Amino acid sequence: MVGLSEGEKHFIHGGIAQDIRTDGRRRLQFRALSVHTGVIPQAGFRTCLVASMCLFLLFLSGNALRVYVSSDWWLLVLQANGSAHVRLGATEIIASVKAELGKPSILHPDKGKVSIFVDCSPTAEPMFEGRGSEELSAELSVALQRCLLGGKSGAGAAIDLSSLIVVEGKVCWDLYIDGLVVSSDGNLLDALSAAIKVALSDTGIPKVNVSLSAASDEEPEVDVSDEEFLQFDTSSVPVIITLTKVGRHYIVDATSEEESQMSSAVSVSVNRHGQICGLTKRGGAGLDPSVILDMISVAKHVSQQFISLLDSEIAAAEAEAEE
């Protein structure tokens, strides 16, 4: 929890009203964004870690980044098919994507499955220690699922679940997307969505050869390639833009101090075509429907700028990785 004096609170409110925030940004301006892809190698990573280990050093661009993780998280790390590190101001996120062969659900035999989980490092924020971390992790996970995965049927999902089918009704790809909050200074949901989009762009799905038997009730034989991969299509994967209402105005990319002064916030999931993929609200204050519609309109406009910026950062990160 951010503790502010009355003078500091007045300064934040006054700055936002004047369209000059405490860090010099305007109301609809993001902080600096940096992106790294492939931060968790698929092979050659040190495997001397043991389940009891809760600390490792991850090197990004020559700088050591200390990350505290659980044993479950490092097990996932060793098997990632794609990964990314995103820094938005002082908020830092590591995202990883793991692909496993599974079986489609009976209700949706023509679709694969995607799960999203978030973990908050206790070093990111004092409030993340103990139950505070568990509650926030669950809240962020649900919000991401609501904004990215559509309804229970998969309808409206930002990720094409039908593209994950190998053999209809029998074999599909299950994607496990994990986000780790390394450092927190507000706007976690937007930063997580950006990190997930970047990690998916880095994800290679192994090519498979399927041998179907004459008997339709028998399980097919699936041979997974260790050398050939299909790049995951992220063209329709959206970003999340959160508009935080402070006083009579709303802002994007709020810092922790600004979030402490909010009355409510609306997070809108928007793809590059301007289509709304999901929406979630937090905060106790109610909002007039006309205000929500205006916030959605602003989020659609801002999202296109942010997607263009993210695309250029991804291209630069991929070019750097190839050098």
Handedness of CA 138, 142, 143, 148 (dihedral sign): positive
Residue 277 pLDDT: 87
**Residue 24, pLDDT above cutoff 80:** yes
3-state secondary structure (DSSP) of residue 116: strand
CA dist., res. 311 & res. 203, Å (int): 15
Residue 161 pLDDT: 87
User: Phi and psi (nearest 5°) for 302?
Assistant: -65, -35
Handedness of CA 134, 1, 145, 312 (dihedral sign): negative
Token digits for 4? 């502010």
Domains parsed from the chain with CATH numbers: 7-322 (3.30.230.70)
Lowest mean pLDDT among 223-227, 284-288, 298-302: 284-288
Residue 151 pLDDT: 62
Which of 110-124, 157-171, 267-281 holds the top average pLDDT?
267-281
Report which of 191, 151, 184 is spatially closest to residue 277, judged by C-alpha positions.
151
**Residue 57, pLDDT above cutoff 70:** no
- The DSSP line for 262-304 is -SEEEEEEE-TT--EEEEEEESSS---HHHHHHHHHHHHHHHH
How wide is the angle at C-alpha 116 spanned by C-alphas 70 and 86, nearest 5°? 75
**Residue 64, pLDDT above cutoff 60:** no
Report which of 27, 30, 29, 31 is spatially closest to residue 248, judged by C-alpha positions.
27
**Residue 152, pLDDT above cutoff 80:** no
How wide is the angle at C-alpha 312 spanned by C-alphas 89 and 231, nearest 5°? 110
**Residue 287, pLDDT above cutoff 50:** yes
| Averaged pLDDT for residues 290-313 | 94
Residue 213 pLDDT: 65
CA dist., res. 53 & res. 34, Å (int): 29
| Averaged pLDDT for residues 130-153 | 80
**Residue 78, pLDDT above cutoff 60:** no
CA dist., res. 275 & res. 162, Å (int): 19
Q: Give residue 265's pLDDT band: very low, low, confident or very high (50, 70, 90).
A: very high
Residue 62 pLDDT: 40
**Residue 29, pLDDT above cutoff 70:** yes
CA 71 vs CA 52, 54, 68, 75: distances in Å: 6, 6, 10, 6
The residue type found at 150 is G
Higher pLDDT pick, 194 / 150: 194
For residues 151 and 123, is the Cβ–Cβ distance under 8 A?
Answer: no
Residue 51 pLDDT: 30
**Residue 271, pLDDT above cutoff 70:** yes
Strand order in the sheet with 249-252: 249-252, 239-246, 264-270, 276-282
Q: Give residue 160's pLDDT band: very low, low, confident or very high (50, 70, 90).
A: confident
User: Phi and psi (nearest 5°) for 52?
Assistant: -80, -10
| Arithmetic mean of pLDDT over the chain | 83
